[in-house]
Structure 1
Amino acid sequence: MKDLYQILGTSRTASDAEIKSAYRKLAKKYHPDLNPDDKAIEQKFKEVSQAYGILGDAKKKQQYDRGEIDASGQQQNPFHSGYTHQGQPRSGAAGQGGGGFDFGQEMDIGDIFSDLFGGRRQGPRGASAGARGGVPKRKGSDVKYECTVNFVEAAAGAKKRINLADGKTLNVTIPPGTDNKQVLRLKNQGLPGKGGAPNGDALIEVKIEAHPMFTRKGYDVHLDVPITLMEAVEGTTLTVPTVTGKVKVKVPADSNTGTTLRLKGKGVDDIKGHNRGDQLIRLLITLPNETDKELRDFLRTWSKSKSYDPRKDTGIFD
């Protein structure tokens, strides 16, 4: 079994701050979220976390240096032949022994994960001094993750899969109506608790990608729809997109730029399931990129007898 100092790339005389700094760099480098489906990297991440689980705890570090526990955290015979009387491992004998060390059992490294991946530090919760065997009972730390969804997935709901800190994957249900930067709490999916206390929670911050056409205000969805001059004057029926699919909408005659049509119940679900917003369609009269001579001649002739001033009644341009 490798020497824990070698795993973290530090010397035995390294300070606590140097050990922590070395761990942070390696944990970020080998984190499963950054290296999906790579078993070798996942194993490396576990080794680094296990090493810091001992060297990052002052008491365990002293026990390890004295040879009282091995690299897996197992108790050793104080007269184990692999150590000198000063507690330094003899050449080729560092970290002998078997078993497994639960790096979440006796020290809170959730703060490290939170610092690395954008979360806030979670204070100890649920601590009690009366746990069986003298181990204080304390709920595990929460761990924060991010999940990116598109606009329609957030509005209508979706299923997503994320990678957890321990290399496992978790299916996440994005409820209909989820808003940008909303945090979903998944119970007991965080770091392990102590003394039989429950695990912490996974906090999933949802990031919503911008949509090329839709914008959201509350539970309403807004959409600008360009129409021709003829469609505005005569009226028409258009097929427009919504978050649940395409629908037909009637444009009344004599519509104008800024005319807004409301599609009831075609917006975003209230995340509590109580009601649903609407979709608001704003019409924009749009001329061709280049108008031809026939259209310009017609408008000149028409305007001589039907002239009007669209700024007259606003009171702003007087």
Structure 2
Amino acid sequence: MDKRDYYEVLGVSRSAGADELKKAYRRCAMKHHPDRNPGNAAAEAAFKECKEAYEVLSDPERRRMYDQHGHAAFEHGMGGGAGGPGFADMNDIFGDIFGNIFGGGAGPRGPRRGADIGYVLELNLEEAVGGVTREIEIPTLDECDTCDGSGSADGKLETCGTCGGRGQVRFQRGIFSMQQGCPHCGGRGQVVSSPCADCHGQGRVERTKRLEVKVPAGVDNGDRIRLAGEGESGPAGAPAGDLYVDVRVREHPIFQRDGDDLHCEVPVRISQAALGDTIRVPTLGGEAELRIPAETQSGKLFRLRGKGVRSVRSRSEGDLYCRVVVETPVNLTAEQRELLEKFEETFVGEGGRRHSPRSSTFVDGVKGFWDRMTS
């Protein structure tokens, strides 16, 4: 199969600059990366194709040769050696592009940023719905105050003898020439000549940091709050990572949350359900009136509009759903028992069926079932 034009693969013009090429490659590689498309052979082939295109076009000399001779410039070892184009710079590409996206290893621009930190913040439902400011303590690696994060006791740094100040080392594996961050200086290109006594040249010390976390109103279980730069300090003065606070909402004794809606069960007496009544029900903002119509059945669902949760995203308000549960009375007095017995006598016979719609349906269903079984 003939190879596609490298410019066409990346979707750029032949006059595209370095920044435009890098952005185009990033889009293409992210779209077709194998980690995002597991088991997809077509995506894997497209990923290799855009990587190959970028490896050639990002190198001025190889790009010049490609513009003059096309794909033939790299056949039979021409212009790129037996390994084809770009193998010498493969680690540069992934370190520079994917390293920047995913917080990868040290690249040619210096040591990587500090690690991100995760923290689980438990809230009750009222705090999650209304918003709250909480102080938390985070064990972390923080910048050393003695050396201001440099790791040096006297502020002096020396050029790394392993990488010659480049922050990168190159090594050969068979036909492949690979490049990676210098293990001696961590990609910084410089080393400490006189280490700080407090951090031992690391520029960071273990410390418990106190922070205030402002939780916006309406957050839900599983929501995440990002505090930029509040993670671990980067080595040797590199940027700090981020702190990610994961919200966990404890179960509530009355309400169950479903998105922006709340649900609760409301117990009522038989007399209230039969005759109707207006009762007071709890909401997160206080009490509200709920009208129970006469002849309400157990399990009936009522909605109180706007009595749910104000969304943290859309700022719209959810509803409160109250499910009526008709309770059987307990601990009856002699008078109450006598009254109920007299009440029950009024249901005896066929005339009582019209007062119990579900019971009548059930009895009819059972009768039909037995008729079918005996026929």
TM-score (norm 2): 0.47
Find runs of 4+ consecutive structure 1 residues off by over 4 angstroms: 314-318
Q: Would the alpha carbon gap of residues 240 and 126 (structure 1) be closer, same or farther in structure 2, given more than 3 Å must change?
A: farther
Q: Secondary structure of the residue that 2:347 maps to in structure 1?
A: helix
Greater relative contact order: 1 or 2 (C-alpha under 8 angstroms, separation 6 or more)?
A: 2
Whole-angstrom distance in 1 between the partners of 2:361 and 2:317: 37
Q: Does 1:310 align with 2:358?
A: yes
Q: What amino acid is aligned across from residue 121 of structure 2 in structure 1? A: C
| 2:250 pairs with one of 189, 209, 217 | 209
Q: In the alignment, which residue of structure 2 is the partner of 1:273?
A: 314
| 3-state SS, counterpart of residue 274 of structure 1 | coil
Q: Tell me if 1:185 matches 2:229.
A: no
> When you count helix as a share of all residues, which structure comes out higher?
2
TM alignment of 1:71-86, pairs within 5 A:
none
- Deviations 1:266-317 (Å, cap 9, x if unpaired)? 1122221331210000001112123442233123222024233524436875
Q: Distance in 1 between matches of 2:129 and 2:265?
A: 18
Structure 1 counterpart of 2:71: none
Residue of structure 2 in register with 1:142 after alignment: 116
Counterparts of 1:255-294 in structure 2, within 5 Å, are 255-291=296-332, 292-294=336-338
Residues 135-181 of structure 1 show CA distances to partners (whole Å, capped at 9, x for unaligned) of x2422111111111101211222221111223221111222222223
Q: Does the 8 Å CA contact 1:222/1:279 hold for their aligned counterparts? A: yes
Q: Which deviates more, 252-261 or 193-202?
A: 193-202
SS in 1 for 2:119: strand
Work out the percentage of aligned pairs sharing the same amino acid: 31
Letter in 1 for 2:361: D
Within the candidate set 194, 198, 201, 2:239 is matched to 198
Paired residue secondary structure (2:346) = helix
Find the structure with the greater CA-based Rg: 2
1:124 is aligned to 103
Instruction: Quote the residue 1:295 is aligned against.
Output: 339
Instruction: State the Cα distance separating 1:205 from its structure 2 match.
Output: 1.5
TM-score under structure 1 normalisation? 0.55
State the Cα distance separating 1:236 from its structure 2 match: 1.6
User: Of 213, 216, 226, which residue of structure 2 is paired with 1:172?
Assistant: 213
1:7-66, CA deviations, whole angstroms, 9 ceiling, x for partnerless residues? xxxxxxxxxxxxxxxxxxxxxxxxxxxxxxxxxxxxxxxxxxxxxxxxxxxxxxxxxxxx
Amino acid across the alignment from 1:306: G
* Structure 1 vs Structure 2 CA RMSD: 2.4
**CA distance change for structure 1 residues 137 and 247 in 2, over 3 Å: closer, same or farther?**
same
Q: How many residue pairs end up in the alignment?
A: 192
